[in-house]
Amino acid sequence: MRTDYRKYLSPDTVSKLKGMELKARMVVEGFIAGLHKSPYHGFSVEFAEHRQYMPGDSIRDIDWKVYAKSDRYYIKQYEEETNLKGYILLDCSASMGYSSDEKRVSKFDYALTLAASLSYMMLKQRDAVGLVTFADKINQYIPPRSATGHLHALLKQFGDLDTASTTDLALPLHEMAERIRRRGLIIIISDLFDDPEKIISGIKHFRHRNHEVIVFQVLDPRERDFAFAGEAIFEDMETGERITTLPWQIKGEYRKQFDSMADLIMAECRQARVDYHLLDTSTPFDKALYAFLSKRERLF
């Protein structure tokens, strides 16, 4: 009986798996298993041994067996080839640890699995991937590499990470924009809970340096709809400040402010030719993985 890997695109299912490598592998294999099913019909991806033929490549390297199956030209890819340098910027501030329900994965657990899955996918395609963890400053920087053993180092690092500190997204974004000199793909995974103008400034700094950028804003579903019942106590996870309120009284104004913030970030990203995607922790991982592969296809 074949394993239905598509179930591993569900965050709740993946959260029950033990070990970051198993989680990443199951998410990616689940994604690949569903690529040729709606809405991804016709979209293809080759891992490890092949990449699509491009003008200037030697005809001798075309894999005719692959051509016979796919009716597309792919060349055999050699071990030393690297198509892309990718940098995953992962927000580790305390607000990322939030979950509105103990049965639901936290924003940080979702972000970790997404980051690990993207790393797994990129390295299997012989892309180089690096990791930057940050909150109010850069906590760690692992330069991008494409070596096979690099995956295990990254996955171990993901498994050891936790949230801490307050948020100041602009500072580490600007610092990394200056630090990364060679053009690459910047993948920002964050709840973006900071001053929108400062966040936009940091994102645009990468574009000014000629990098390609994908932004994944990861939220809890209740942070989007504010569907809390009864009187509630809200605590700032970074400062510890608490307020007691009736959610239904402020829901309308909250949604108005939230939509305004999201619309501003989306519009500014579009203007700067940055791919922006709003996810919540109930969103299957294939939405983010497909967004990444679509971006990657446009770069080659």
Mean pLDDT of the chain: 85
More confident residue, 3 or 96: 96
Please determine, for residue 48, whether its predicted confidence score (pLDDT) is greater than 60.
Answer: no
Q: C-alpha angle with apex 68: 296 to 121, nearest 5 degrees?
A: 25
Which tens digit of pLDDT belongs to each residue from 155-207?
A: 988 988 989 877 789 999 999 999 998 999 999 999 999 999 999 999 999 99
Kindly report the CATH class assigned to 85-299. alpha beta
Range with the lowest mean pLDDT among 16-20, 74-78, 259-263? Answer: 74-78
pLDDT given for residue 67 in this prediction:
74
pLDDT digits (tens, 9 = 90+) for 111-135: 999 999 999 999 888 899 999 999 9
Higher pLDDT, 82 or 206: 206
Candidate from 65-74, 231-240, 261-270 with smallest mean pLDDT: 231-240
The residue-averaged pLDDT of 5-18 equals: 89
pLDDT at 173: 97
Over residues 208-235, the pLDDT tens digits come to 999 999 999 999 998 888 877 777 676 6
Query: How far, CA to CA in Å, does 260 sit from each of 82, 231, 263?
Result: 40, 25, 5
Confidence of residue 49 (pLDDT cuts 50, 70, 90): low
The more confident residue out of 89 and 166 is: 89
- Residue 12's H or E segment, with its range, is helix 11-15
d(CA 115, CA 113): 5
In the block, which residue shows the tokens 């198993």? 22
- The predicted pLDDT at position 41 comes to 44
pLDDT at res. 80: 43
Instruction: Provide the pLDDT for residue 54.
Output: 65
Average pLDDT for 278-299: 91
Residues of the chain with CATH 3.40.50.410: 85-299
Rounded mean pLDDT of 134-157?
90
Q: Tokens 């500072």: give the residue.
A: 171
